[in-house]
C-alpha cells in the first residue's frame, strides 16, 4: 500500500499526515466538497444541495474540451457530426449505469427533453431530438455554426445525469402538467444517485463520502488504490492547511501568494484557463441598481485591479474592457474596434458626472435621488473567503465615494440554493464567461430557469447609444436576445465578428452585470504518494474545475507502491 493522505473531516479512521504531504497508510485518495453528504440530493435541476464535486466522479460527460489540443474528447459519446440540419451523437459501447443497465439513447433524450422545460441554451439550437436506435441520437438543429453548438453541447457542466429509469416519469408529468408539474419536479430530491461514471458511492455520513470503483467502467482499468474519500470543508483556510499538512491529496481552490510560498515540494499546482471569473451581479429591480447610470458609476469607482488581486491573486487578470466576452475574444474577434469601447478606468470624477446627469445629488457624503440614499447590500457565499474579502474591499471604496454599500455573508447552500436563484439580493457574487462569444453573453441577456438573466431580473429592452463607439449618440431601443439570436446563426468569421461587436457594445453600455476579473483555475495535487502525467501534457489540460476526476477517467492517477 502507498502511504496515502487522509483528509480531516473523515470518519476518524484515518491518521493525520506529515508536513511533506504524506499521510496515512489507508490506500485512499482524499479531497473535499462543500455539501454535507446526508443533505445532498441528486436531481440536477433542483439546485439546492446539489453537489457538483460528487457529480464529477459518479456521472460522465458527453465530451470535454482539452485546453492544450483545442479538441474535444468523447466520453459517453464516441462520435458526433453535423450534416446539414442533422446532429448525430453516437453513444459509446459498454457504458452502464451503476445498477448494470446500459446507458442508451433514451437516457439522453430524457435529459434533453427535461432541459427544454428549463430553457437550457442547447434548445437555442435544437428543434427536436429523437433516438433512432439504442446508441444513436439525432437532433434537428437550426442553422448555426457547429463551433457554437459543440461549445454548448460539450460544456464542462453537461454530464449525463438523468437516467430514463428515474426521470422518465417526471418528463411525462412535465409534458402533461404545466407549471405545477415543474414545481413538483423541483421537489424531487433523491439522495441515492444512479451514476454511470468511474466511481460510485459506497458509504456516507455527515462528514464525508466514501466512493469505490465502478467495475464496469469502460474507459479505464481499475486504479491501484481502493477508495476515493470526499470530506466536507467549506473554509479555504482549512483546505490550505490540509494540503500543506499532508491531510489531503488534491483540491481545486483559490490560494493566495502568501500561502503558495509555504507549500511543501510535494504539492504541485496546475492552472487551466477558466474563460471568465468573478463579477458583481446587479438586481435590475433594485430602485437604484436598475438604473444604467448607477451601474456605470459603480464601474468607474470599483478598482478592478485591487479587487481582482484580492479575489484571485496571481491567477487573476483584471477585466480591461467590459464587453461580456473574454480578453482572448476581445483580441481575436473584436480586434481594432476594442478601443472604441468604454474602458471604465477608475475615476470618481466620471462617476460623479454620470450620477449628476441622472439627477443624483450628494448630501452629507451620500448620493441621493428624490431623497432616497443610494445604498445596497452585496450578498456573498461564506464558503468563498477570497470573494468575501474582495467584495468587502469593493464595498468600502464604494461607500467612501458616497454609495452606502455593505457585504452580507450566507452559507454556500443558502446562497446558491435560495438567495441568488430567487433574486433575494441587491447585488451579489457571481461568475461570468465562456470560450465562445455567444455562450459568454447569453446568460446575462436571455432568461430561463436558473439563468443569470432571471436572477438579476434583466429587462427585455435597453436604451443604447445608436452609433457604435459614440456613447453620446442618440439612444435607440435594443432587444439583446434578438442580437444574440442573430449571433448564434453566424456562419463565418466575418459574421461572428460583426454580430459579436453589436452585442458587446450593448453589454459595454448597459452593464447588465459588472465583470471584474478573468482567471485561471488553480488545482493542487500531491506527488509524494501519487503518480501524475507531466504538467505540460495534454492529460493535464482537460476539463477545468474537474481536472482531477478527468485524470481518474483516463487512468492517469496511480498510487506509488
**108-161: per-residue pLDDT in tens?**
999 999 999 998 889 989 999 999 999 999 999 988 878 889 988 998 889 999
Whole-angstrom distance, CA of residue 462 vs CA of residue 331 = 26
The arithmetic mean of pLDDT across residues 271-279, rounded, is 90
Q: Is 478 helix (H, G, I), strand (E, B) or coil?
A: strand
Whole-angstrom distance, CA of residue 286 vs CA of residue 457 = 9
Q: 240 or 435: whose pLDDT is higher? A: 240
CB within 8 A of 161, min separation 6: which ones?
42, 44, 55, 59, 111, 195
**Residues β-bridged to residue 363:** 366
* Contact yes or no for 452/282 (Cβ under 8 A): no
Would you list the domain boundaries of the chain?
Answer: 28-58+197-266+527-559, 63-174, 277-518
Say which DSSP state 27 is in.
Answer: -
Per-residue pLDDT for 25 more than 50? no
Phi, psi dihedrals of residue 389, rounded to the nearest 5°? -65, -40
Per-residue pLDDT for 186 more than 70? yes
Per-residue pLDDT for 4 more than 50? no
- For the chain, what's the residue count? 561
Output the nine-digit C-alpha cell for 213. Answer: 470503483
pLDDT the model gives residue 174: 96
pLDDT the model gives residue 12: 34
CB within 8 A of 49, min separation 6: which ones?
35, 39, 40, 41, 189, 413, 417
**Residues β-bridged to residue 410:** 381
Whole-angstrom distance, CA of residue 450 vs CA of residue 47 = 8
Strand ranges, E, within 56-135:
63-65, 72-74, 77-83, 86-91, 126-133
SS in 3 state form for 206-273?
Answer: CCEEEEEECCCCCCCCCCCCCEEEEEECCCHHHHHHHHHCCCCCEEECCCCHHHHCCCCCCEEEEEEE
SS3 content of the chain, % helix, strand, coil (to 5): 35, 25, 40
Strands 375-381 and 462-465: unpaired
Its pTM surpasses 0.75:
yes
* Contact yes or no for 272/523 (Cβ under 8 A): yes
Whole-angstrom distance, CA of residue 308 vs CA of residue 38 = 35
What is the C-alpha R_g of the chain?
A: 24
Whole-angstrom distance, CA of residue 349 vs CA of residue 431 = 28
pLDDT the model gives residue 10: 35
pLDDT the model gives residue 7: 43
pLDDT the model gives residue 238: 92
Per-residue pLDDT tens for 515-553?
999 999 899 999 999 999 999 999 999 876 789 999 999
Same fold: 28-58+197-266+527-559 with 277-518: no
Q: Find the helix or strand (DSSP H, E) in which 308 lies.
A: helix 304-312
Work out the angle at residue 23's Cα, subtended by the Cα atoms of residues 17 and 29, and round it to the nearest 5 degrees: 130
Output the nine-digit C-alpha cell for 410. Answer: 450566507
Whole-angstrom distance, CA of residue 217 vs CA of residue 526 = 25
Output the nine-digit C-alpha cell for 422. Answer: 430567487
Q: Which CATH class is domain 28-58+197-266+527-559?
A: alpha beta
Per-residue pLDDT for 448 more than 70? no
CB atoms within 10 A of CB 436: 25
Output the nine-digit C-alpha cell for 457. Answer: 431580473
- Residue whose C-alpha cell is 481518474: 552
CATH assignment of 277-518? 3.10.105.10
Name the nearest CA neighbour of 122 among 65, 49, 62.
62
Per-residue pLDDT tens for 26-66?
589 999 998 999 999 999 999 788 898 999 999 999 999 99
Measured between its terminal Cα atoms, the distance across the chain in Å is 6
Phi, psi dihedrals of residue 484, rounded to the nearest 5°? -65, -35
Q: Is 12 helix (H, G, I), strand (E, B) or coil?
A: coil
Strands 558-559 and 530-531: antiparallel
Whole-angstrom distance, CA of residue 166 vs CA of residue 61 = 18
Whole-angstrom distance, CA of residue 459 vs CA of residue 380 = 24
pLDDT the model gives residue 26: 58
**Residues β-bridged to residue 327:** none
Output the nine-digit C-alpha cell for 248. Answer: 489531503
Residue range 63-174 in CATH 3.90.76.10:
yes
Amino acid at each position: 500500500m502507498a502511504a496515502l493522505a487522509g483528509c480531516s473531516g473523515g470518519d476518524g479512521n484515518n491518521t493525520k499526515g506529515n508536513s511533506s504531504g504524506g499521510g496515512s497508510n489507508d490506500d485512499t485518495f482524499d479531497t473535499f466538497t462543500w455539501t454535507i453528504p446526508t443533505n445532498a440530493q441528486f436531481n440536477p435541476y433542483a439546485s439546492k444541495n446539489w453537489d457538483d464535486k460528487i457529480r464529477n466522479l459518479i456521472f460522465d460527460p458527453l465530451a470535454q474540451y482539452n485546453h492544450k489540443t483545442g479538441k474535444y474528447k468523447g466520453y459517453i459519446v464516441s462520435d458526433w457530426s453535423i450534416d446539414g440540419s442533422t446532429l448525430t451523437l453516437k453513444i459509446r459501447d459498454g457504458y452502464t449505469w451503476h445498477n448494470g443497465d446500459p446507458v442508451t439513447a433514451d437516457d439522453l433524450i430524457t435529459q434533453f427533453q427535461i432541459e427544454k422545460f428549463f430553457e437550457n441554451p442547447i434548445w437555442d439550437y435544437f428543434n427536436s431530438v429523437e433516438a433512432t436506435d439504442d446508441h444513436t441520437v439525432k437532433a434537428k438543429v437550426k442553422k448555426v455554426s457547429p463551433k457554437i453548438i459543440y461549445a454548448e453541447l460539450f460544456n464542462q457542466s453537461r454530464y449525463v445525469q438523468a437516467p430514463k429509469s428515474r426521470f422518465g416519469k417526471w418528463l411525462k408529468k412535465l409534458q402533461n402538467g404545466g407549471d405545477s408539474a415543474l414545481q413538483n419536479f423541483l421537489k424531487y430530491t433523491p439522495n441515492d444517485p444512479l451514476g454511470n461514471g468511474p466511481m460510485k458511492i459506497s458509504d456516507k455520513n455527515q462528514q464525508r463520502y466514501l466512493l469505490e470503483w465502478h467495475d464496469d467502467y469502460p474507459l479505464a482499468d481499475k486504479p491501484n488504490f481502493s477508495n476515493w474519500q470526499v470530506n466536507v470543508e467549506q473554509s479555504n483556510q482549512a483546505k490550505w492547511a490540509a494540503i500543506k499538512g499532508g491531510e489531503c491529496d488534491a483540491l481545486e481552490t483559490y490560494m493566495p501568494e502568501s500561502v503558495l510560498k509555504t507549500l511543501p515540494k510535494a504539492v504541485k499546482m496546475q492552472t487551466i484557463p477558466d474563460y471568465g471569473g468573478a463579477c458583481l451581479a446587479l438586481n435590475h429591480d433594485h430602485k437604484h441598481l436598475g438604473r444604467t447610470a448607477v451601474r456605470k458609476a459603480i464601474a468607474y469607482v470599483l478598482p478592478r485591479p485591487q479587487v481582482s488581486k484580492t479575489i484571485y491573486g496571481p491567477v487573476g487578470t483584471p477585466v480591461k474592457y467590459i464587453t461580456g466576452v473574454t480578453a482572448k475574444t476581445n483580441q481575436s474577434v473584436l480586434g481594432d474596434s476594442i478601443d472604441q469601447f468604454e474602458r471604465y478606468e477608475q475615476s470618481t470624477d466620471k462617476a460623479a458626472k454620470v450620477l449628476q446627469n441622472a439627477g443624483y445629488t450628494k448630501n452629507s457624503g451620500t448620493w441621493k435621488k428624490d431623497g432616497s440614499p443610494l445604498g445596497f447590500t452585496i450578498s456573498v457565499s461564506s464558503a468563498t473567503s477570497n470573494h468575501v474579502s474582495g467584495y468587502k474591499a469593493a464595498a468600502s471604496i464604494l461607500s467612501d465615494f458616497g454609495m452606502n454599500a455593505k457585504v452580507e455573508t450566507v452559507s454556500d447552500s443558502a446562497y446558491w440554493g435560495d438567495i441568488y436563484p430567487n433574486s433575494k439580493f441587491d447585488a451579489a457574487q457571481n461568475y461570468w464567461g465562456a470560450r465562445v462569444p455567444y455562450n459568454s453573453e447569453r446568460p446575462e441577456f436571455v432568461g430561463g430557469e436558473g439563468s443569470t438573466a432571471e436572477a438579476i431580473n434583466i429587462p427585455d429592452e435597453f436604451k443604447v447609444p445608436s452609433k457604435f463607439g459614440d456613447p453620446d449618440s442618440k439612444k435607440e431601443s435594443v432587444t439583446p436576445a434578438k442580437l444574440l439570436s442573430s449571433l448564434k446563426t453566424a456562419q463565418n468569421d466575418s459574421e461572428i465578428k460583426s454580430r459579436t461587436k453589436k452585442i458587446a457594445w450593448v453589454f459595454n453600455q448597459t452593464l447588465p452585470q459588472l465583470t471584474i476579473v478573468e482567471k485561471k483555475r488553480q488545482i493542487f495535487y500531491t506527488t509524494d504518494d501519487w503518480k501524475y502525467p507531466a504538467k505540460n501534457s495534454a492529460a493535464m489540460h482537460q476539463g477545468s474545475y474537474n481536472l482531477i476526476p478527468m485524470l481518474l477517467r483516463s487512468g492517469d492517477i496511480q498510487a506509488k507502491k
